Amino acid sequence: MPIRTKPIDLIGANDLDALVKRRTQEDATIDFKQDFSFLQAPSDSEKRHEFLKDVTAMANAYGGTIVYGVEEGSGAEKGVAKRLTPFMLPTSADDASNQIDGILGTGIDERITGVRHRGIVVQNQKHYWIVRVPPSHLAPHFVKRVCKKPKPNCYRRENTTNLPLDARGIKEIALRAATARERAQSCIEDRIQFSLRQGNRDYPHTEGDDPARLRPHVMLHAVSLFPGEFDIEQIDSRKPKARCPRFALEGLYFEQPGGGAPPEFHLLFLRRGGVEFQKYGICYRPDRAQHLLVVAPKPFLMELSDWVKELVDLTERELVRLPILVQASLVDVENTHLPVGYGEYSPLEHKVVRSESWVLDGVGEPAKEQVRRMINMLWQAYGLRDAPFDVEFPWDARTWGE
């Protein structure tokens, strides 16, 4: 698997050896550095500016990976990985990591969320260092002034060069970030409309089933704002248990059949970038009110909670590329009800209920609040203030920061 797409936690010394053996060429998404001069001379403002320039240039473009400890060739071989140059850290790996976090947090305006980095230790306690930079929906990002000499403060990576930007270039970056969200929102809406068309068809069901009860369903979309390559091999190697893979024009499904069609549940890896969770059978008919279709609140909330956990897992495995636009929806739910008390039900007149979409670019307390708001908004469509059950969150806010 190319180092560009391999999860950063799985990159090892063998992957770096492969860069040299394959004579890998630098491009817009991979950059080689012979050493980590910023760590070795943290008080040098020129080297600090150079480090921040490299990171912001990638965030303002397509994201990418910076590999420290690889010497590139010269002349006709400029940009080609020539040999490995592991280096000694002036301090412990933990201190070095904290130092990098500190300069990333204070040296960039506005802060880039989701930058990940780690050291790879080899013989004689020498290290390589990998920095993985996501494309940013908050672009453009600027380097705060750290040098005495005036320097450009906004860059974008083009091919193998970090170009300083003028006012027009800065406006283009801002426009690209804004339209990325629009494209992701359009993708979500297309998928909802497709699901509605599927539900309106007469699909097979076993004798005694209630087709009206089977149609209402819940969906959770997480669409990448800056999608990468659709890597079927990487996705297919992580087959979820008890789910059947199925290829389609829109992407790769993992389905859990429920005896009819469409399947009771699916997880779809979208070819466009991102994932779709979908679950049918969220309604029941109460014994004392057989004429009503009622959403079962607790199983529905547990389903959403499990999907959030799986989504976090997929982002950590880098099968879903951050940042992502997230939205939950109740689909084909017109004339369904929600229980509000013993024998009391609140009706819904909308065919589709959509939560507000929001951008997930890292795991922490802000993301936790957004998930709560998203779920509460679905309840508010039924006239209630908020969901009656809290959602268990799968992350520690300290893991990726706020």
- pLDDT, tens digit, 9 for 90 and up, residues 307-359: 888 888 888 888 888 899 999 999 998 888 888 777 788 888 889 999 999 99
Residue 323: asked if its preceding bond is cis (omega within 30°), the reply is yes
Q: Which pLDDT belongs to residue 401?
A: 32
Q: Quick check: 171 pLDDT over 60?
A: yes
Q: Are 144 and 109 in contact (CB under 8 A)?
A: yes
Q: Look up residue 94 and give its two tokens.
A: 């933990």
Structure tokens at 124: 């004689």
Rounded Cα gap, residues 212 and 163, in angstroms = 58
Helix (H) or strand (E) holding 345, with range, is strand 344-347
Cα 66-40-116 angle, rounded to 5 deg: 35
> Which of 71-75, 83-87, 128-132 is the least confident region?
71-75
C-alpha to C-alpha distance for 306 and 59, rounded to whole angstroms: 31
pLDDT at 277: 95
Span 364-389, mean pLDDT? 78
pLDDT attached to residue 14: 93
- Mean pLDDT (the chain, rounded): 84
Percent of the residues in the chain that have a pLDDT greater than 90, as a whole number: 43
By the 10 Å C-beta count (0-12 exposed, 13-18 middle, 19+ buried), 67 is classed as buried
Exposure of 219 in the CB half-sphere (CA atoms within 13 A): 27
Residue among 357, 346, 352 at smallest CA distance from 383: 346
Residue 242 has pLDDT above 80, yes or no: no
* 241: exposed, middle or buried (Cβ count in 10 Å: 0-12, 13-18, 19+): exposed
Using an 8 Å Cβ cutoff, are 354 and 380 in contact? no
Q: What is the pLDDT of residue 396?
A: 41
**Distances from the Cα of 111 to the Cα of 137, 143, 170, 180, 280, angstroms:** 11, 10, 16, 19, 40
DSSP per position, 159-185? TTEEEE--HHHHHHHHHHHHHHHHHHH
N- to C-terminal Cα separation, the chain: 31
Q: How far apart are CA 138 and CA 83, in angstroms?
A: 36
- Go through the domains of the chain in sequence order and give each one's CATH number: 8-165 (3.30.950.30), 177-400 (no CATH)
Rounded to 5°, angle at Cα 228 from 227 and 229:
130
Q: Are 260 and 203 in contact (CB under 8 A)?
A: yes
User: Rounded to two decimals, what is the model's pTM?
Assistant: 0.83
In contact, 254 and 265? CB cutoff 8 Å:
no
Interatomic CA distance for residues 336 and 338, integer angstroms? 7
Owner of token pair 């400029």: 78
Sequence letter at residue 6 = K
